Chains A and B, each alone.
Chain A
Amino acid sequence: MKTTRIALLLSSLLLPSALAFGSGWDLAEKTKLAPGLYQVNELESRWSTKYHLLVDDYVNEPGKSLAILFEADAVRQRRTIARLYQIRSIKNGSTLMFVPLAMDLSGNLRVTSEGQTNAPVIEVITRNGDHRYPYVLRGRNGALQGKLLGMRAANEDTPRLRPWPSSGIFASSTDGSVDVLVNGDEVSISSGSLADQTFNLIPLNGDEGKFAALTKSRLDTMGEAELADEKIQRLATFVDGALDRETLMIFTPTVNWGEFQLEAYQLTEPGLLEGLFPGKRNPN
């Protein structure tokens, strides 16, 4: 009898707090994608991977992530089309929304869902249990052209995205000529042997951030300062792990809102770096 009373008392004490949790005192963990590389494919297709999704945390707000959706052979093809997303949990944290990021005419990066009520976003449906695709990506408002895509974690090392090269300097070359040279916060993109475009690397969300914005810059030799433009021209990130070698991804906006041309540059082999910075050669 006494035990029952105690149980009743306890339940009456606990009940209000239990109700409180259900009515907006949101302490439950929100749905979140762990950082890493994911394989994405059309549901009805075979096991081959068509796209990759790279996810990493967004430093400024713990509940959000950043993601890049790109073609699986982007590194081999060098120039492909990619999309960038901010991932945020919606509907009380029960589901995830991939919001496209787009560059506007003022040279700022915009979260498209904040300017449109019908932005083409991707919703993530999660399935519990052992499935070929635990996640299904579903396009809303015209995203993905109405296709459903299946997604699963790739069996690769977790990649790290950085706004800076891991060793301070980064170079990539094809056929002996240098395509990209990164030195500190300067990026030089070359065509042929001309270093004709220089950009300033500005971390998007702090030094611990994942992406960098590229703004046109020039060296004022008289003022002895590197001067950058305020408008963002391109975006960049350095991917370490998962993709064979450290890879620099440069995203240039295309005429389609929210679509980027992805140029992937892999770190040059040590022998080629020596070619870039040659030592004195013995004349004999």
Chain B
Amino acid sequence: MKTAKTLTQVLTLCLSLAPGLALGAGPEYPRSVNDVTQSLDSQVLSREMVADLLNSTAEAPAQPFSDLERFLPRPGQGPGMTEERLAGAYTAAELIAVALEEKDTFPFEERIEFLKEQAGRIIEVSGDRPTELLLRLTLGRSVDVTSHVLPIAGRNSAYVTRLLANFLRENFELAAGFGNNPMAVSSRFKSGGRTDTAEFLRKVSIAEYGRVYATLLWRYSQDLSSDSSKAVLLMRLLGYLGWDFNADLRRRERPIAQTIVDIYSLQHGELYQRILGTMRDGREPAQEDVAQLRRRTYTILERIPARLQSLNITPISGATF
């Protein structure tokens, strides 16, 4: 009953979304650390978003509060106007394969721009297909992360360019997996026949997707770059994870709610705010603080598999922590 109610809220919200949220109409890429920290602000789970979990009498918010909403079907959104879509020549998954092949003909700097551009194009081609929701989400995030880490790369530019090209490649490969094989998303998901978004979201756990994406960011946050870019990447990870868990249809189940509360308290805690404040002042965060943030993020990630398992949520194959 509760699930049905939340589901109705999801669909109501989908119907009321502003069309301007499409990837192409997003904000300009940041040019300074201040822009980066501002973008992190918008990712933190707000009190309104989790009010019903913190206070049992509060109404559940209209779901979801995440970038997921950008990739859900929108009213009046017919087939895209791109030539590929009109001709039906390429599916989104095929376009990813083509992009991965073509990227090797560009040097690193151009390769990043090429993949970012392709991500937007593929999202457009994918349109409103419910089964490609995670594909769109992954590509959208790959562009977001790439755009928010590069500006604070400091003196590491050549190396970070390579790192980001590698990051985009892995995102495209992950997205291709979601596009080619919806079964990979959940063994309970039966392909064939028409599936609507509600059906998809019932079968596929967005929380489990959040775990998969968090493990990808977690690996990249261990690289040999500066503490500030590591901190930004960890904060991004927490932001996405919070959004994903909060957007899951089972968010009121205790194992998922516990993770939401863990993330909420970390994001609103002194440590997180101190690191954010230091970066906002244009300074490098303290090594000890970044280490603490990493350790606490690890604790949250470590608990997730057992929690999802207790809800019988099947792990997406291939994602190791």
A124 nearest CB across to chain B (Å): 16
Give which listed residue, B156, B218, B287, contacts A205 with CB less than 8 A: B156
Judge whether B222 and A228 touch: CB under 8 Å: no
Judge whether B294 and A114 touch: CB under 8 Å: yes
B106 within 8 A of A: yes
Judge whether B223 and A111 touch: CB under 8 Å: yes
B224 within 8 A of A: yes
Provide the bound-state CA to CA distance between A209 and B175, in Å.
35
Chain B 40-66 residues near chain A, CB threshold 8 A: none
A234 nearest CB across to chain B (Å): 14
Give which listed residue, B157, B162, B222, B295, contacts A215 with CB less than 8 A: B162
Q: A202-B159, A206-B155 are in contact. Are A60 and B219 (CB under 8 A)?
A: no
Chain A positions within 8 Å of B107 at CB level: 225-228
Count residues of B near A (Cβ-Cβ below 8 Å).
35
Closest to B169 in A: A230
Give which listed residue, A60, A86, A112, A207, contacts B226 with CB less than 8 A: A60
Give 1 or 0 for each of A90-122: 1 = CB within 8 Å of chain B CB: 001000000001001011111110110100000
B13 within 8 A of A: no
Q: A223-B105, A226-B107, A230-B169 are in contact. Are A206 and B158 (CB under 8 A)?
A: yes
Judge whether A114 and B222 touch: CB under 8 Å: yes
Q: A107-B166, A215-B162 are in contact. Are A227 and B105 (CB under 8 A)?
A: yes
Provide the bound-state CA to CA distance between A107 and B219, in Å.
11
Judge whether A61 and B227 touch: CB under 8 Å: yes
A253 within 8 A of B: no
Q: A108-B220, A108-B223, A220-B105 are in contact. Are A202 and B162 (CB under 8 A)?
A: yes
Judge whether B106 and A111 touch: CB under 8 Å: no
Judge whether B223 and A109 touch: CB under 8 Å: yes
B150 nearest CB across to chain A (Å): 15
Closest to A228 in B: B108
B221 within 8 A of A: yes
Provide the bound-state CA to CA distance between A101 and B222, in Å.
10
Chain A positions within 8 Å of B218 at CB level: 115
Q: A223-B105, A225-B107 are in contact. Are A230 and B224 (CB under 8 A)?
A: no
Chain A positions within 8 Å of B170 at CB level: 106
Judge whether B166 and A231 touch: CB under 8 Å: yes
Provide the bound-state CA to CA distance between A89 and B286, in Å.
12
Chain B positions within 8 Å of A104 at CB level: 219
Chain A 46-98 residues near chain B, CB threshold 8 A: 59-61, 63, 86, 88-89, 92
Give which listed residue, B156, B166, B222, B288, contacts A111 with CB less than 8 A: B222
Closest to B320 in A: A105
A interface secondary structure, majority: strand
Chain A positions within 8 Å of B284 at CB level: 61
Give 1 or 0 for each of B207-238: 1 = CB within 8 Å of chain A CB: 00000000000111111111100100000000
Chain A positions within 8 Å of B288 at CB level: 92
Judge whether B225 and A60 touch: CB under 8 Å: yes
B115 nearest CB across to chain A (Å): 11
A156 within 8 A of B: no
Give which listed residue, A61, A110, A213, contacts B222 with CB less than 8 A: A110
Judge whether A227 and B155 touch: CB under 8 Å: no
B29 within 8 A of A: no
Closest to A226 in B: B107
Chain A positions within 8 Å of B226 at CB level: 60-61
Provide the bound-state CA to CA distance between A220 and B162, in Å.
18
Closest to B295 in A: A117
Judge whether A86 and B227 touch: CB under 8 Å: no
Q: A63-B287, A109-B224, A206-B155 are in contact. Are A227 and B219 (CB under 8 A)?
A: no
Chain B 228-252 residues near chain A, CB threshold 8 A: 230
Give which listed residue, A86, A115, A229, contacts B224 with CB less than 8 A: A86
Chain A positions within 8 Å of B108 at CB level: 228, 230
Judge whether A213 and B162 touch: CB under 8 Å: yes
Provide the bound-state CA to CA distance between A101 and B220, in Å.
14
Chain A positions within 8 Å of B157 at CB level: 206
Judge whether A204 and B166 touch: CB under 8 Å: no
Provide the bound-state CA to CA distance between A112 and B223, in Å.
9
Chain A positions within 8 Å of B101 at CB level: none
Chain A 199-226 residues near chain B, CB threshold 8 A: 202-209, 213, 215, 220, 223, 225-226
11 A–B contacts, CB within 8 A, in A order:
A63-B287, A88-B287, A106-B170, A108-B220, A109-B223, A114-B294, A203-B159, A206-B154, A220-B105, A227-B105, A230-B165
Q: A61-B227, A115-B218, A227-B107 are in contact. List 16 more A-B contacts (CB 8 A).
A: A60-B225, A89-B287, A101-B224, A106-B170, A107-B166, A108-B166, A114-B221, A114-B230, A117-B298, A204-B224, A205-B224, A206-B158, A228-B162, A229-B104, A230-B108, A230-B165
Q: Which 3 A-B pairs have the closest CB atoms?
A: A206-B155, A230-B166, A114-B222
